[in-house]
Amino acid sequence: MSIRTLWIILIKILGLFLISGALVVLPQSISFMFYAFKSAEIIDVLSVSAINLILLVIYCLLIWVCIYKTSWIIDKLKLDKGFETENIELNFDSTKIISIAIIVIGGLLFIDNIPILLKDFFTFFQQKVLFKDYPKSGWIIFSFCKVIIGYLLMTNSFGIAKLIEKQK
């Protein structure tokens, strides 16, 4: 495996971690914008919304560059220069390495959110209120979605890795 291929794999894995981070960043920014709409003046709301939108665009652009434009990053940062050897002896296919990274990311999502989901369900059943009246119903749905996404990442990792590799 060449140094360049190793960097491509590492940058794509970084992009996958950024995607898993987006599952936290996006709901928080949307929640923050709703809070700003309720408690601030229109100028403050517009400025917060503009800054939030700019940051989300930058975040999404960074994810896109890490996953689909890895060669451009390597060329601009000259990551494959300055090594004594051109090849590293690893007997793994890049698709398998990315698949393993997807399994790890999915497992982390699954493991991190199962306790939160169970705690919120337990609290919900103790309150004995309707789901629509429960103040944390949105967080229950959010944790449930993250658990499902983690499970789907773990079970479909090879297909997702092939999709990422096909986009070269």
How far apart are alpha carbons 101 and 88 in whole angstroms?
A: 19
Q: Has residue 106 been placed in a domain? A: yes
77, 97: one domain: no
pLDDT in tens, 12-53: 999 988 988 888 888 888 777 777 777 767 777 788 888 888
Q: Has residue 87 been placed in a domain? A: no
**What's the pLDDT at 168?**
58
1, 77: one domain: yes
Bridge partners of residue 91, in order along the sequence: none
Give the total number of structural domains in the chain: 2
64, 128: one domain: no
43, 106: one domain: no
Bridge partners of residue 2, in order along the sequence: 87
Which percentage of the chain shows pLDDT scores above 70?
Answer: 98
Q: Has residue 60 been placed in a domain? A: yes
How far apart are alpha carbons 30 and 37 in whole angstroms?
A: 11
User: Is the separation of the CB atoms in 89 and 155 below 8 Å?
Assistant: no
In order of 44, 101, 133, 140, the CA distances from 125 in angstroms are 39, 36, 12, 12
7, 54: one domain: yes
158, 98: one domain: yes
97, 168: one domain: yes
- Residue 148 belongs to domain spanning: 93-168
| DSSP letters for 104-164 | HHHHHHHHHHHHHHHHHHHHHHHHT--GGG-TTHHHHHHHHHHHHHHHHHHHTHHHHHHHH
pLDDT in tens, 49-71: 888 889 889 999 999 999 999 99
In order of 17, 47, 50, 113, the CA distances from 116 in angstroms are 20, 33, 32, 5
115, 140: one domain: yes
